[in-house]
Structure formats: structure tokens, C-alpha cells
Amino acid sequence: MKKLFLAFAALVALISCQDLKEEWQPVVSDNEDPEEFIPYTEARLKACKGLESFTTIQDLKAMYKNKPLEISGNIWIRGQVISSDVTGNVYRELYIQDKTGGIDLKLGKSSLYSEFSLGQWVYVHCDGLTLGAYNGMPQLGLEADKTSTNEYETSYIDLQVIIDQHVYRGVQADPLEPIEVTEEDVKASLAAGFTGELWGKLVTVKGVSYGDQIFALFYPNSNLPHKSSNPENRVFLSDNGTWGITTWACSKTGYVRYLENRCWDEAVVGSGNTKYGEIARTTPRSAGLSGTTLQNFSPYEDTTYKDIMIQFATANYVSHYFKLGSTDIQVRTSGYAKFADTELDPALRDGSKTADITGIMTIYSGAAQFTLVDDPSVSVVLN
């Protein structure tokens, strides 16, 4: 209902601006595209969209008080685009940054790079949007869906008419240069939590060493429920070295290859205090599942979890741990990234070299996490 209301409001706003159309659009000849993109300017937004002033991203974040906040009033932010989904490592999200900080816009579209270029100015009308967090990371989207299994404080802005009501593309400018940050900077942002200055910013950390540890969460059958309340359909790889993973992440092919090479045979099904047994030996029935929970796995009740994982293989993310001084920084890569199966340089893995890494700094459950926005050959420079 809310989305329909917003869509109607957007239509009304569009009609109200028709009188200004000729002012902002050039004369169109028979040889020109009438849908040619005309960048928004602050003057145009003031005349047509009611812009009065801008709130900094830092001040916007300060409004959050540990629970989702639906923003009301004529509040606008602006920033330059610092993310691109061209490599596939940023999905249905757009990061923008001003002088005070960055934020994750949950635009529920793919191929955003074709509309939002690195360095381009973007203006966001926040009225009606929701400011929230995912495991501590600031996000701006719509109100979260009201479901019993919902684990998010915001949802995607996935209807174009609603996107058009809130997000306005401005002029192209030079891409922002990454900010070099120190361990002390990272610690300060971690201590600040949600309002940490670094979250959502394009940064470079220098001289990081490989931590020889990974974190990954797999869902044996991703078609079945796999929330934290479904330990029977969760497998963690963590706290025990790298589990033989030498690539930045796992495409579907890479995932199957690791399974078939027996790299993860000792991985255990379950989460928290609920453990069922190793994937190579345990079946849903031998795990003691019963009732509907067991029936969900039909007809694979007596198939090992390892074979179930192969049967329902998907691409999977991996987080590699690095050390900036004594502080852990995870570099998280999607299994759908074009470079998912790219090998980490052996000199980095064996500790003979350190690296300077550039990406978007985020926070995840109280830890610093990096998202590479370019191929590792560009984003990871060995020393």
C-alpha cells in the first residue's frame, strides 16, 4: 500500500513540474532522442522538487537511534557515486559519498553502472525513506517488509517510479580519490558504531598482511529456509584457517570444485550451539531431523549434505581476513563477481608480501569489512 501511495505521489509531482519542462529540456529536432538525459542541478531541484537545503550524510546518520527511522520532512542529501556493479561485486546497491561520510542506497536494480557513473553527483530526497542498519552498516531504503522472518531494517527501493521520486542524477564529475586510512582511523570508526566516519567511504588501507583465515556461510539447499532459525540448512567455514580456499570467492563452478576436491568434508552442518555432523557423513535423516523439517529435504533425506550441496550448488561469497596492524579487516567478495575465482597471489597468502587494498569500507557485526569495487589486479597492490 505504501509503495502504491508513493507511486501516486510521484505521478502528481511529475504533472506539477510539466510547466518547467521547457526550461530544463533543449529543443528536440527530428534527429534527437526526446528521452535524452538532462542532469539535475541544484537550481532545477529548488524550482521543481522543493529543495531548500542539504543535510550532510554524517548528520543524516546521526538521526539513527538503534532502530529503523522513517524520515519525514524536506530532508535532502547529496554525494558522488563511489561504487560500480560492472564487475558484479556490488549488487542492487549504490554507494554515495560527501565530505562527511558515505551511505548505502538500496536501489533494487542491476546494471546500475549504466545510469550512475563513478564521480557522478546524486541527490536524494529522503522524505518517506527509512534509515536503518544491516549488522551495523548504515543503509537508506524503504520500510522493511513486515514478515516474521525479516532480518533487515530496510527493504529495496525497487519500483522505478519510486526511485524517480527520491533519487536524482546530477552532473558527471571526476571520480573521487580514495582516502588513505590508518589503523587508528579504523578503530575510531569501530568504536563509534553506526555513525563511524569511514562506513560507506572509498578508502585505501596500506601494508595489510594476510590473516590466513576466511569466513563463509553456505546454505546446502538455498531453496529451503536458511535463516538463523534454520541451523539444519547452514554450514559455516570459519575459525579454522582457509579451508583450502585460495580464490577471492566461489562461483558455482568453483564451489562444486572445492566440494569435489574434499576441501570441506569436515565442515559441520548447523549454527550456534546446534550442530548435526560433518557434511561428508551426515544426512538430514541421520542428523535427527523430523516432521516437516525432514520432509523439506525430500527426496534427499538420505543423501549426504555434501551431495546436497553439489546438487543445489550456487555461487557463494567469501570473506578473507587481513591484518592492519592488530586490527582485523575482512575483504568480502561475491561469488557472482567476475573475479570470484581469481586466485589470491601466493606471495600474499604465504606472508612474504603485504598489500595496499582499495575499496568501500563497511561495518559488519562490529568488524571492519571491505568491498572491492574493481578487479583485484587494480584494487590489491602488493608491496
Residue 171 clears pLDDT 90, i.e. is over it: yes
Count of structural domains, the chain? 2
- My answer on whether 217 and 283 are in the same domain is yes
**DSSP letters spanning 212-246:** EEEEEEE-TTTTS--STT-GGG-EEE-SBTBTT--
Read off the pLDDT of each residue in 73-93 and give the average, rounded to a whole number: 97
pLDDT of residue 240: 77
Structural domain including 213 reads 177-383
- My answer on whether 102 and 199 are in the same domain is no
- My answer on whether 225 and 270 are in the same domain is yes
- My answer on whether 286 and 139 are in the same domain is no
Reported as a single tens digit per residue, the pLDDT across 143-160 is 987 654 567 899 999 999
- My answer on whether 161 and 41 are in the same domain is yes
101: domain CATH number is 2.40.50.140
Reported as a single tens digit per residue, the pLDDT across 97-129 is 999 999 999 999 999 999 999 999 999 999 999
For CA atoms 19, 25, 29, 34, give the dihedral sign.
negative
Using DSSP's 3-state secondary structure scheme, residue 115 falls into coil
Please tell me the least confidently modeled range out of 142-146, 282-286, 365-369.
142-146
- My answer on whether 252 and 105 are in the same domain is no
The amino acid at residue 232 is E
The 10 Å CB-count burial string (b at 16+, else e) for 107-132 is bbbeebbeebebebbbbbbbbbbbbb
d(CA 265, CA 262): 5
* Residue pointed to by grid coordinates 509531482: 13
Return the HEC string of 4-37: HHHHHHHHHHHHHCHHHHHHHCCCCCCCCCCCCC
- My answer on whether 233 and 341 are in the same domain is yes
pLDDT of residue 36: 80
pLDDT of residue 20: 39
Look at residues 169, 197, 216 and tell me which one is the last residue of a structural domain.
169
- My answer on whether 203 and 322 are in the same domain is yes
Residue 9 clears pLDDT 90, i.e. is over it: no
Look at residues 169, 186, 202 and tell me which one is the last residue of a structural domain.
169
- My answer on whether 148 and 199 are in the same domain is no
Look at residues 169, 185, 212 and tell me which one is the last residue of a structural domain.
169
Task: Please tell me which residue, 19 or 327, carries the higher pLDDT value.
Answer: 327
Residue 15 clears pLDDT 90, i.e. is over it: no
* Residue pointed to by grid coordinates 552498516: 137
pLDDT of residue 35: 65
Using DSSP's 3-state secondary structure scheme, residue 153 falls into coil
- Please give the model's pTM, rounded to 2 decimal places: 0.88
- My answer on whether 129 and 218 are in the same domain is no
Read off the pLDDT of each residue in 280-309 and give the average, rounded to a whole number: 98
**Which residues of the chain form beta strands (DSSP E)?**
69-70, 76-81, 94-98, 101-105, 121-125, 130-134, 137-143, 154-155, 167-169, 179-181, 201-218, 235-237, 268-271, 274-278, 318-324, 327-333, 355-364, 367-371, 380-382
Residue 233 burial by Cβ neighbours in a 10 Å radius (0-12, 13-18, 19+) = buried
- My answer on whether 196 and 147 are in the same domain is no
Cα 327 from chain centroid (whole Å): 22
- My answer on whether 112 and 218 are in the same domain is no
By percentage, how much of the chain surpasses pLDDT 90?
86
Residue 24 clears pLDDT 60, i.e. is over it: no
pLDDT of residue 147: 59
Question: N- to C-terminal Cα distance for the chain?
Answer: 55
* Residue pointed to by grid coordinates 523439506: 296
φ/ψ region of 43 (left if φ > 0, alpha if ψ in -120 to 50, else beta) reads: alpha
Residue 18 clears pLDDT 60, i.e. is over it: no
